[in-house]
Amino acid sequence: MARRRDWVALSKPPLFALCLLPLVLLAWNAAQGTLGPDPVAQLEHRSGDWALRLLLATLAVTPLRRVTGVSKLVRYRRLLGLFAFFYVCVHMGIYLVIDLGGFWSQIFAEIARKPYITVGFTAWLLLIPLALTSTKGMMRRLGRRWQQMHRIVYLIPLLGVLHYAWMVKSGNAIANREPLYYGAAFAALMLWRIPWARLRDGLRALRAGTAAAARCPDPAARR
Ligand code: HEM
């Protein structure tokens, strides 16, 4: 019998290439000198945008899986998450090497002085343990603790949006609505995760219990 082709495994290399494409384009534009009047800001902005997009894409895997009923989609999550981490590292690397000109110790002064850097840096720190424990082996070894630990993944895009919104607010970027759009996408992905049906059933049960207790004349029996 012919073995069924594993389309997730087959589609991973093109997805890998697709995730790498923004960096290739960025490097190409930098080499061609077509990044506009402020190339360093462009490098920071475009790498930051892709970091945030990929973080949100990682969060979108579970809803997409449930909506389509294709549970195999979960196998894309690690690739997307690791690429998000990769783009955050590139983004921070550009900031440290090009923006701060290699005066890396300045990062501590910047963290203390600029709240948006503090928030971005915190998000980066939180991503490290997630990236390091993303392998199947670590998943098996950590068991339940793996799941508990990987819940931080919900906090990181929130910090990313906050980092961007703060930056716009402090006038470091052209005032734009983009952080709002990212924030709305994040909110939608989180709202989707609320188990509405279970919440509704719980509330109904609570209301039914309260009504029954109110009808009961014997206070001792209510306990
Ligand atoms: C999860 C972590 C992070 C995410 C998702 C993120 C995302 C972003 C985004 C979306 C932007 C704005 C892009 C635009 O204007 O289109 C940005 C800008 C920026 N980020 Fe981050 N970032 C993160 C961490 C960091 C870290 C760790 C640093 C440095 C220590 C950093 C430094 C900057 C700087 C310097 C800018 C540009 C500010 C300016 O325009 O002057 N970011 N980031």
**Per residue in 36-68, pLDDT tens?**
999 999 999 999 999 999 999 999 999 999 999
Kindly state if the Cβ of 162 falls inside 6 Å of ligand 1: no
Tell me which of 26, 43, 45, 97 to substitute to probe ligand 1's pocket, judged by most ligand atoms within 8 Å of the beta carbon: 45
Q: Domain ranges in the chain?
A: 7-222
Look at the pTM and tell me if it is higher than 0.95: no
Kindly state if the Cβ of 53 falls inside 6 Å of ligand 1: no
Residue 120 CA to ligand 1 center (angstroms) comes to 6
Arithmetic mean of pLDDT over the chain: 90
Q: Within 13 Å, how many C-alpha atoms sit on residue 14's CB side?
A: 5
More confident residue, 8 or 123: 123
Kindly state if the Cβ of 186 falls inside 6 Å of ligand 1: no
Position in ligand 1 atom list of the atom nearest CA 111? 30
173 DSSP 8-state letter: S
